[in-house]
Amino acid sequence: MSAPIPVVLFVYARTTHLVRVLACLRENRVPLLEVFADGPKGDADAARVAEVRALLRAIDWCEVRLVERSVNLGLGRNILAGVTEVADRHEAFIVWEDDLIAVPGTYDWVAAVLRRYANDDRVMSVTAWTHPRVTPAGIGAAPYFDGRAECWVWGTWARSWRGMKEENACTKLRAAARRGRARDAYGADLPAMADVEERQNIWAVRWLYHHLQHGGLCVRPPWSMVEHIGFDASATNAQMATAWVNPPLRTAPSPTGPWPDAVEHADCRRLWRNANPSGWKARLPQLKSIGRAVVRRLVPAGWRRRLRRISRPPAYRGEFAGWPAARAASRGYDDAVILDKTVQAARAVRDGLATWERDTVLFQAPEANVRLLEALRAAAAAEGGDLRVLDFGGALGSTWWQHRFWLEDLRAVRWSVVEQPALVAAGQREFTRGPVRYFASVGACWAAEQPPTVLLSSVLPYLEDPHALLRDLGRRPFRRIIIDRTGFTARGRDRLTVQQVPPEIYDASYPCWFFDRAGLLADLGPDWRIVSEWRNDDHVDIAAEHRGLVLERRPAPVGPVPCI
């Protein structure tokens, strides 16, 4: 495949979007554009269609072949006709719509995949898009193979496109079923889209069932290179896509590989079914939203506030003289309910049912603790690109799972969790994968990993003697300590309370410290200094606040200090 691989660009009437897309394509050094400009629907959009075409005619940074439709075909028919026309002239091509942008290097990576698998009939397409909800865990920096194809910046060969015009999605669905592929094998959204394909003039579901009909595979990158910029009032068929918000885009993978053998990853079907469930699970978010709307409409705001105060007692109560008294007034952190909920939440993240969890609460959309993430990346930069962390009290690696999409580009990551025996046993049994390992003590972790960085995220408040732990850590040869989501009081002395967990999380309570900041930091000794500090958003219903800090060991003096 020595000929340039063209980008087939489909446009309509969105000038603002197209300007960004063309800048992206130019930055990607695309050599040839095959552009299909759909016609206006009437006088109302004729001027905008003309503006789009003027932009296209002004391109001077690559070769352009422009087809200007005289009538409006709509998105589905325009793409089916345009790709079929290009497939008659080119062996391979990349398809791009006018509301998709991608990082530099995306074109090179997709083109490299098309060249690498050109003669492998098992592979029918490649895409530059994936998402945390459907990306298998532990794939590292290598692409993977999925039985479900994609329509966001994708490439294929003329050989794979044959038969797309002759059969609609429902016909292909039935053909796939004869091969043993259930209608919803890759999500309940597919058969629903197939039923309305021609009526709504959509096309991608036909391409997806075309893969299932022929048993073909789609190459997906280890992380997404594509962002959708068209989720607004001018978008076509994108109402539900806002649920698939990307993490911040990362640098494109190397166009030199690695290139695995064409075998579908075993987790793909399960991840797609979890992301697009059927039955009542699919309607649960909508039902919850309707229920909240009904309550807001029928119950006055004042009554709602009173009900919240009655139903949710203060999160922190009391002031106890010592740990035994606070422990006697609570159920304790080692309650079996907490362990069970923690394991269940970690399984949901591991299995793709959620993107991350915190304190057993599941979240679907990627979200970073920005200041903590900055501290972790700074720690890696200080170690030459390697991130080696002792995560004390890190449960089953929840901080890593939350931030993994922003850390996987580092040269190397070793995430060592030090926890209670029951959690260590669960971690070693079910969750030791990728960079995460589990240890029963700081000493055991240091002997195995020698991590230069310690993370104390929302853990010091729940220790019987946090001051002893800090004194111990300060004497060990760590180079930096990151403290996050830790409560501080302005009273000049520590305060020991009992925290009541909201019942929607689990029915539990445990002792909780709020610290005198100066006293806590004094435990580390004079060799440590604060290099950054921030305030957390965690709500506290007493006179205190949660903060985060990064501390580094002061460099040792070099040689004797001269007397003057």
Please give the backbone phi and psi of residue 358, each rounded to the nearest 5 degrees, phi first: -140, 125
Work out the pLDDT band at 290, boundaries 50, 70, 90: low
Q: Are residues 429 and 464 in contact, defined by beta-carbon separation less than 8 angstroms? A: no
Question: Would you give the DSSP letter of residue 181?
Answer: -
Give me the torsion for CA of 58, 59, 64, 70, rounded to 10°: -40
**Secondary structure element (H or E) that encloses residue 484, with its range:** strand 480-489
Using DSSP's 3-state secondary structure scheme, residue 424 falls into: helix
Cite the DSSP H helix spans in 476-541: 517-522
* pLDDT digit string, tens, across residues 417-438: 999 999 999 999 999 988 999 9
| Confidence (pTM) | 0.58
Please give the backbone phi and psi of residue 400, each rounded to the nearest 5 degrees, phi first: -65, -45
* pLDDT digit string, tens, across residues 504-543: 666 778 899 999 999 999 999 999 999 999 998 776 667 8
Q: Percent of the chain having pLDDT more than 70?
A: 87
Give the distance, in angstroms, between the CA of residue 3 and the centroid of all CA atoms in the same chain: 36
Helix axes 189-200, 204-214, angle to 10 degrees: 130
Please give the backbone phi and psi of residue 217, each rounded to the nearest 5 degrees, phi first: -120, 150
Token pair listed for 497: 């309370």
What string of DSSP letters covers 98-136? TTEEE-TTHHHHHHHHHHHTTT-TTEEEEES---TTTSP
Using DSSP's 3-state secondary structure scheme, residue 55 falls into: helix
* pLDDT digit string, tens, across residues 454-483: 999 999 999 999 999 999 999 999 999 999
More confident residue, 101 or 304: 101
Longest dimension (CA), the chain: 92
Q: Are residues 528 and 540 in contact, defined by beta-carbon separation less than 8 angstroms? A: no
**Secondary structure element (H or E) that encloses residue 552, with its range:** strand 544-553
Q: Is the pLDDT of residue 337 over 80?
A: no
Whole-angstrom distance, CA of residue 533 vs CA of residue 483: 9
Whole-angstrom distance, CA of residue 407 vs CA of residue 289: 33
What string of DSSP letters covers 252-310? PPPTT-----S-B-TTHHHHHHHHS--THHHHHHHHHHHHHHHHHHHS-HHHHHHHHHH
459's CB contacts (< 8 A; 6+ apart) are: 392, 393, 394
Task: Report, as an integer, the average pLDDT of 481-500.
Answer: 92
* pLDDT digit string, tens, across residues 135-175: 998 888 899 999 999 999 999 999 999 999 899 999 999 99
Q: Are residues 435 and 414 in contact, defined by beta-carbon separation less than 8 angstroms? A: yes
